């Protein structure tokens, strides 16, 4: 078994600051994190890949992943929907992260609702912890999870970013009929 993981690192400017993208040699996103939280990203990676030697090399727009995220920030909400992701979290974390991708763009869901959807209504705190350990920000949309009372709670990139991302997605979302739906009075 090969215990080496070669990752390609790119950095991109966004309206919210610089974003780091890490992908593997097959084009899977392994991490997306804000530059000012790079230490957190590295800690999560070393925890998730404990027995793996990780190497990172700079690569501009690996597998067009950076371009897809640039399109998202330009208003194309569909550009990130099917991006390939691969993480090394626990089985429970994997289930939570997969479920996050099922929350529609421009919508939110509470931690409790997400836990119920997973058939684990009593696991609200565990869902919150898994959500907080998500290494692939934005693409695995942990920012769409809110408190039971509708409040914006916990986001590794900061609540100001969470609020901006939710507003951005609501502003540009496409409704169920495929029609552009520009909302101006959101969050």
Question: Can 142 be counted among the known catalytic residues?
Answer: yes
In degrees and rounded to multiples of 5, residue 119 shows phi and psi of 75, 25
Q: Report the alpha-carbon distance of residue 88 to residue 130 in Å, rounded.
A: 12
Local structure of 164: helix, strand or coil: helix
Q: Which of 157, 148, 153, 165 is nearest to 107 (CA)?
A: 165
Tracing tokens 């993480």 back to the chain, one arrives at 87
Class of residue 169 by CB neighbours under 10 A (exposed 0-12, middle 13-18, buried 19+): buried
7 forms beta bridges with 24, 56
Which tokens is 46 given? 């070393």
- List the catalytic residue out of 142, 146, 165, 166: 142
Q: How many helices (H) and strands (E) does the chain have?
A: 6, 6
The residues annotated as belonging to the active site are: 142
């Amino acid at each position: 078994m090969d215990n080496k993981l070669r990752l390609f690192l790119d950095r991109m400017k966004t309206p919210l600051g610089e974003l780091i993208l890490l992908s593997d040699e097959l084009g899977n996103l392994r991490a997306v994190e804000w530059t000012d939280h790079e230490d957190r990203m590295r800690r999560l990676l070393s925890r998730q890949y404990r027995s793996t030697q990780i190497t990172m090399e700079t690569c501009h727009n690996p597998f067009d992943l950076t371009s897809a995220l640039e399109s998202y920030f330009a208003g194309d909400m569909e550009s990130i929907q099917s991006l390939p992701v691969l993480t090394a979290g626990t089985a429970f974390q994997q289930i939570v992260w997969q479920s996050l991708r099922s929350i529609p763009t421009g919508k939110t869901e509470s931690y409790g609702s997400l836990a119920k959807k997973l058939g684990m209504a009593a696991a609200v705190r565990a869902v919150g912890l898994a959500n907080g350990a998500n290494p692939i920000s934005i693409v695995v949309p942990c920012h769409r999870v809110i408190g039971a009372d509708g409040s914006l709670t916990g986001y590794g990139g900061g609540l100001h970013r969470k609020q901006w991302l939710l507003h951005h997605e609501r502003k540009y979302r496409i409704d169920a009929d495929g029609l552009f739906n520009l909302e101006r009075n959101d969050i």
